[in-house]
Amino acid sequence: MPTPLDTLNASFGLPGTLHFDEAAPGLPVAHITTPLASASIALQGAQVLTWQPTGQQPVLWVSKAAIFEEGKPVRGGVPVCWPWFGAVPGKPMHGFVRTRLWQLRGAELDAPGQVVLRLGIGDDVATHSHWDHAFDLELTVTVGSTLTLALTTRNTGTQAFEITQALHTYLCTTEITQTTVQGLDACHYLDKVQDFAPCQQSGAVTFQSETDRIYTDTTADSLIVDAAGGRNLRIAKQGSASTVVWNPWTDKEKTMADMASGEFHQMLCVETCNAGPDAVSIPAGGAHTLVAIISVE
């Protein structure tokens, strides 16, 4: 009798380009290798774990202490936070879809040689226990010399609903103290380290301590300048009014069982969001798409 992995490989595998294995029992992962790039995507959470354009160093960061278990979030890659971002009392942190198994809906090699995966999840009894709305959520991942993530929320119910959301991107950087983020100058932000105090950015974002900020009302690209590594990463976005910038620094890192000591030096989250006051209302029968386009410059 074929296993779920056999079925995935038979239905969606692309010889020499796309195959599936398990990161742990019950945790299927798609592995992509093309002349343009390599990548891996976990079906739990529709979470892109790795992406490396050919000839470049890895772009996405995953902790050496990350936990690969059914129902557990993975520290790194690009978790999908939905239908809320952050903490809601009595509910799962960052929503419920990042620890659910998504359905693979499609896999193809497009004309430019990119692999396009479509993963989806809909409402059921379990989701209604957290959030009582009818929905269809689909993530389209396009893996090439750039990485494009398009998260489409469809309201399949009869009442409007409101969401916050994020493509919670963990990036590799060579040394956080020599890393800056450009594109947010003069933006207003809520500083979680200061109990969400309202602040305004002046110049590039720099890092000397724990940083956890929701930049609001911004549609600009973010340019991550990795001075020690000699490269820049760009995150362009669509359908997004917020950008979150996060590094836990040393004290916060010590509270995280799924992060190894000192790893904060080599990681930075720059997240494509609609968060804080930038919630999105979707009418019955309506849809919204959040897009992040990641490239190496």
* HEC-encoded secondary structure of 145-197: CCEEEEEEEEECCCCCEEECEEECCEEECCCHHHEEEECCCCCEEEEHHHCCE
In angstroms, the Cα distances linking 160 to 94, 152, 279, 287 are 21, 16, 13, 11
Q: Tell me whether residue 168 is one of the annotated catalytic residues.
A: yes
Give the chain's length.
297
Q: Tell me whether residue 138 is one of the annotated catalytic residues.
A: no
Tokens of 248: 């836990």
Selecting among 94, 133, 168, 265, the annotated active-site residue is: 168
Selecting among 138, 253, 263, 271, the annotated active-site residue is: 271
Buried b / exposed e along 198-220 (16+ C-beta atoms within 10 A): eeebeeebebeebbbbbbbebeb
Which DSSP letter does residue 102 get? P
Name the residues annotated as catalytic: 168, 271
